[in-house]
Amino acid sequence: MINTAQDLPEYKKRLKRALDNKFLRNAMAAFAAAYPEGRARALTGVDFEALRVEIARGKDETLPRLEELYEAFKAKAEAAGIKVHLAKTAREANEIIAAIAAEGGAKKIVKSKSMTAEETFLNDHLEAEGLEVVETDLGEWIIQLRHEGPSHMVMPAIHLSRDQVAELFTKVTGTTQEPDIESLVKVARRELRKHFLSADMGISGANFAIAETGTLGIMTNEGNGRLVTTLPRIHVALVGLDKLVPDLASALKILKALPKNATGQVITSYVTWITGPTECKAAPSGLKDLHIVFLDNGRLALSKDPVFAEVLRCIRCGACANVCPIYSLVGGHNYGHVYIGAIGLILTYFYHGRKNDRAIVQNCLNCLACKAVCPAGINLPLLIKKVHGEVLAEEEDRPLKNRLLRRVLHNRRLFHFLLRRASLAQKPFAREGFIRHLPFFFGKEHGFRSLPAVVRTPLRDRWARVAGKVAQPRLKVALFAGCLVDFVYPEQGEALARLLQERQIQVDFPPDQSCCGLPAKCMGEMEIAREMAIQNLKALDPADYDHVLVLCASCGSHIKGTYPLLLKKEPGLGVKVQQLAEKLVDFSSFMTEVLKVKPEEFLGRKEKAAYHAPCHLCRGLKVTGPPRELLKVAGYEYVPAKNEEVCCGMGGTFSTDFPELSAELLKNKLDNVAATGAELLVTDCPGCVLQLKGGMDKRGGKIRVKHLAEAVAATRKEGSKGK
């Protein structure tokens, strides 16, 4: 029933269709706006960071002991009279459940929501065995009637309108149903009540399996989970092995985070704790016939994987989809297979195979929004790239761009030679810093922004001229420029040099530095990313400097966040990389926190400036206050824009891989900026500058786009030395 695109051309067709679906777009946009507010409200007074660390630690302690916990659970549950089964594969789980139904003479089954049952395609299996299966969660029932898969882990029918539901319910009941939500809910109450009362068997999932007592914990809002586990004489719970927790305390910790993060509720309406078969007057014995089927389906192996075990920390809150800019553009049916959102891009590979993942896994901006809200502290963006790497490794041919990258990137001389050649080749087309005719291999979908020209003289060749020796420097810093500042926007580096030299700071440009390697990581080429990290560490010895400055938030967050992960096993380098990470500082933090610049050092021009927060600055380096603070110190009137921290759609190579999606995100961004009435748009990542400047040029907008370093250099009082 679920059919996920298996190649890029097909996937892009579907993405286009989703972008054209007005209802979906509005529904997703409304949700994207409402979710963060609800979540923030629910989390008021909760130390989310502390809770996240606790949940992650708890899971990490549990994962290596899953088998042991399973045995403990089983012993307790069996002693209480529960029948416990272990299914190695999805198919085995379905067969076990079908056999339980057959043995108990069950014909009709009511089900409450279970992502694990979606994972195994349980309904298909049971229906093929001639059983009647009725989903009882309203959203699940709707999509079951429509023969669709869920488009969200918590709100499976979020892609549908009340009109579509009314039409569907009219068909189901045989009487006309008005598109009024309250009465539609009543229809479901009435129809499903009949099923609850006449079913022989109930199937549920579970949020927790508590080993110490053999208890299941189930969270629901509608109350269907309680009816499913109460009315029919047989109850089967299908539970992933990853739901095992040692004790009640661990479950309560997760309970504290899950509903707040999932739907902005302090707690779900119902939390049900079942230990052993309780009274059931429909059962011949007077007690429920209770079965628990634990599903492995790769989980035990995954729990031992040195890199990917982390994904089993997931508590299925769905937040990583809720905040994902791509999810909010195209919806869940285009952003996952069974599991949806960031975690879906990863789990699909393990639970539903490479073919279903190979197209969707490429559709990630690496914007870090998912990582920032995950209550289990899973490094989702990095794992997405690693899965992408695994997928590539198994493909027969790597895409052309990957092959080129592999040949060029790790040879700095060749790479820089080619960049210089590009500057010559584009010369006839370049004007005002933009390429005015796109090269033939770009299709028209790439025309949503003007592309910048590669400069003739990169920053590295200008450095000796712009940044001379400072006689008695207060500080000695190194600039890690990154490719864009070096070869496309050297003026950003020059602005920095001017500001720092006046303040008696020696800034060096270590000449052997190269690309930070982030593009390689983003294309799933982890090996090259690692080589680039080693090269740069050799080029720039952190011991020589007080600070290492970056103007590019993406380089900065890659070096600080990912280098240590890439090089932790490298003898000697692990230490250096830690030192580098500790000395690395972004421009705004350096100016406000290290130099502590003051308004007197700048002209108070009071120009209205909007700010775009680069993903890799606000979430990657977790720097949010300093850039806004610096804007004000430098004499600008900072005007806040809506969704300042939402990705601009650049995402490195993402914008050339998925230009239509990138264009939409850029449009939203520029619309929000235009609404502020700003004269200037400032950001502090050259990648974002490229995207925003190109988009602004294309739409003929009047707002100038600048890197924060340029904006600050522009209002400095000439000769102001600071202190």
Partner 1 sequence: MDSPNLLQLLREKAEAVQVVVQEITDLAEACRYAVEVTSRQGGATIAAPGWDPATLSLLKDICQAAQIEVLTENLREQASRLHTGLTLADWGLAETGTLVHESSSEDLRLATMLSETHIAVLPLSRLQPDATALEAELNGLMHSPPRYLAFITGASRTADIERVLTLGVHGPLELHLLLLKD
- C-alpha distances in angstroms, 431 versus 455, 461, 707? 11, 22, 20
- Is 392 a binding residue for partner 1 by CB under 8 A? The answer is no
Provide, rounded to whole angstroms, the least separation between the CB of residue 383 and partner 1: 29
- Residue nearer to partner 1 on the CB measure, 16 or 253: 253
| From candidates 100, 192, 323, 485, binder to partner 1 by CB under 8 A | 192
| From candidates 109, 374, 477, 641, binder to ligand SF4 by CB under 6 A | 374
| From candidates 123, 144, 268, 535, binder to partner 1 by CB under 8 A | 268
Q: What is the largest CA-CA distance in the chain?
A: 94
| From candidates 24, 98, 315, 516, binder to ligand SF4 by CB under 6 A | 315
- Is 227 a binding residue for partner 1 by CB under 8 A? The answer is yes
Restricting to residues 281-300, name those near ligand SF4 by CB under 6 A.
none
Question: Residue 608 in 3-state DSSP?
Answer: strand
- For residue 343, the partner it binds in ligand SF4, partner 1, none, with Cβ less than 5 to 8 A by kind, is ligand SF4
- Is 372 a binding residue for ligand SF4 by CB under 6 A? The answer is no
- Is 269 a binding residue for partner 1 by CB under 8 A? The answer is yes
CA–CA gap between residue 153 and residue 117 (Å, rounded) = 12
Provide, rounded to whole angstroms, the least separation between the CB of residue 352 and ligand SF4: 16
- Is 402 a binding residue for partner 1 by CB under 8 A? The answer is no
Task: Return all residues near 678 (Cβ < 8 A) that are at least 6 apart.
Answer: 608, 609, 610, 639, 641, 703
Facing residues of 416 across strands?
Answer: none
For 406, phi and psi rounded to 5 degrees?
Answer: -60, -35
Strands (E), 44-88: 83-87
- Residue nearer to ligand SF4 on the CB measure, 59 or 576: 59
CA–CA gap between residue 223 and residue 236 (Å, rounded) = 17
Task: Return all residues near 305 (Cβ < 8 A) that are at least 6 apart.
Answer: none
- Residue nearer to partner 1 on the CB measure, 187 or 380: 187
- Is 160 a binding residue for partner 1 by CB under 8 A? The answer is yes
Name the residue type at position 636. Y
Binding-site residue total for ligand SF4 (CB under 6 A)?
28
CA neighbours within 13 Å on the CB side: how many for 105?
3
For 474, phi and psi rounded to 5 degrees?
Answer: -70, -35
- Residue nearer to partner 1 on the CB measure, 69 or 673: 69
- Residue nearer to ligand SF4 on the CB measure, 318 or 635: 318
- Residue nearer to ligand SF4 on the CB measure, 293 or 370: 370
- Is 342 a binding residue for ligand SF4 by CB under 6 A? The answer is yes
| From candidates 234, 324, 613, 692, binder to ligand SF4 by CB under 6 A | 324
- Is 650 a binding residue for ligand SF4 by CB under 6 A? The answer is no
Helix (H) or strand (E) holding 99: helix 90-103
- Residue nearer to ligand SF4 on the CB measure, 5 or 134: 5
- Residue nearer to ligand SF4 on the CB measure, 364 or 713: 364
- Is 243 a binding residue for ligand SF4 by CB under 6 A? The answer is no
Whether the CA torsion 260, 266, 269, 271 is positive or negative: it is positive
User: Starting from the edge strand earliest in sequence, which strands make up the sheet with 434-435, in order?
Assistant: 430-431, 434-435, 451-452
Query: What DSSP line would sit under 223-253, residue for residue?
Result: SHHHHHHHSSSEEEEEEEGGGEESSHHHHHH
- Is 211 a binding residue for ligand SF4 by CB under 6 A? The answer is no
CA–CA gap between residue 52 and residue 58 (Å, rounded) = 10
- Residue 100: name the closest of 121, 73, 122, 116 by CA: 122
- Residue nearer to partner 1 on the CB measure, 229 or 683: 229
Helix (H) or strand (E) holding 184: helix 181-198
Strands (E), 146-233: 201-204, 208-210, 215-220
- How far does Cα 529 stand from its chain's mean position? 20
- Is 366 a binding residue for ligand SF4 by CB under 6 A? The answer is yes
Provide, rounded to whole angstroms, the least separation between the CB of residue 645 and ligand SF4: 12
- C-alpha distances in angstroms, 453 versus 88, 432, 681, 682? 56, 9, 20, 20
| From candidates 4, 151, 224, 536, binder to partner 1 by CB under 8 A | 224
Helix (H) or strand (E) holding 134: strand 132-135
Provide, rounded to whole angstroms, the least separation between the CB of residue 38 and partner 1: 10
Restricting to residues 418-437, name those near partner 1 by CB under 8 A.
none
Pairing of strands 637-638, 608-612: parallel
CB 477 within 8 Å of CB 542 = no
- Residue nearer to ligand SF4 on the CB measure, 233 or 619: 619
Q: At what angle do helices 162-173 and 181-198 cross, to 10 degrees?
A: 40
Facing residues of 480 across strands?
Answer: 550
CA–CA gap between residue 68 and residue 342 (Å, rounded) = 30
Provide, rounded to whole angstroms, the least separation between the CB of residue 30 and partner 1: 7
- Counted residue by residue, the chain has a size of 723
Binding-site residue total for partner 1 (CB under 8 A)?
67
| From candidates 275, 402, 411, 720, binder to partner 1 by CB under 8 A | 275
- For residue 222, the partner it binds in partner 1, ligand SF4, none, with Cβ less than 5 to 8 A by kind, is partner 1
| From candidates 278, 426, 578, 653, binder to partner 1 by CB under 8 A | 278
Whether the CA torsion 343, 347, 349, 353 is positive or negative: it is negative
Provide, rounded to whole angstroms, the least separation between the CB of residue 378 and ligand SF4: 5
- Residue 224: name the closest of 258, 262, 254, 195 by CA: 195
> Can you read off the two tokens belonging to residue 120?
């195994």
Token look-up 């299709």 returns: 443
Write the burial class of residue 119 (CB in 10 Å: 0-12 exposed, 13-18 middle, 19+ buried): buried
CB 624 within 8 Å of CB 618 = yes
Restricting to residues 576-605, name those near partner 1 by CB under 8 A.
none
CB 302 within 8 Å of CB 314 = no
Binding mask 103-142 for partner 1 (x = CB under 8 A): ---------------------------------xxxx--x
- Is 29 a binding residue for partner 1 by CB under 8 A? The answer is no
- Is 203 a binding residue for partner 1 by CB under 8 A? The answer is no
- Is 43 a binding residue for partner 1 by CB under 8 A? The answer is no
- Is 211 a binding residue for partner 1 by CB under 8 A? The answer is no
| From candidates 43, 56, 172, 267, binder to partner 1 by CB under 8 A | 267
For 458, phi and psi rounded to 5 degrees?
Answer: -70, 165
- Residue nearer to partner 1 on the CB measure, 3 or 183: 183
- Residue nearer to ligand SF4 on the CB measure, 317 or 549: 317
CB 684 within 8 Å of CB 614 = yes
- For residue 157, the partner it binds in partner 1, ligand SF4, none, with Cβ less than 5 to 8 A by kind, is partner 1
| From candidates 260, 291, 299, 316, binder to ligand SF4 by CB under 6 A | 316
Binding mask 375-404 for ligand SF4 (x = CB under 6 A): xx-x-xx--x--------------------
Provide, rounded to whole angstroms, the least separation between the CB of residue 146 and partner 1: 13
Provide, rounded to whole angstroms, the least separation between the CB of residue 18 and partner 1: 18
| From candidates 89, 102, 273, 395, binder to partner 1 by CB under 8 A | 273
Provide, rounded to whole angstroms, the least separation between the CB of residue 363 and partner 1: 24
- How far does Cα 587 stand from its chain's mean position? 26
Dihedral angle computed from the Cα positions of residues 203, 204, 205 and 209, in that order, rounded to the nearest 10 degrees: -100
Which residues bind to partner 1, rule: CB under 8 A?
27, 30-31, 34, 80-81, 136-139, 142, 155-158, 160-162, 165, 181-182, 184-185, 188-189, 192-193, 196-197, 210, 212-215, 221-224, 226-227, 229-231, 247-249, 252, 255, 263, 266-282, 287
Which residues bind to ligand SF4, rule: CB under 6 A?
314-320, 324-326, 341-343, 364-370, 373-376, 378, 380-381, 384
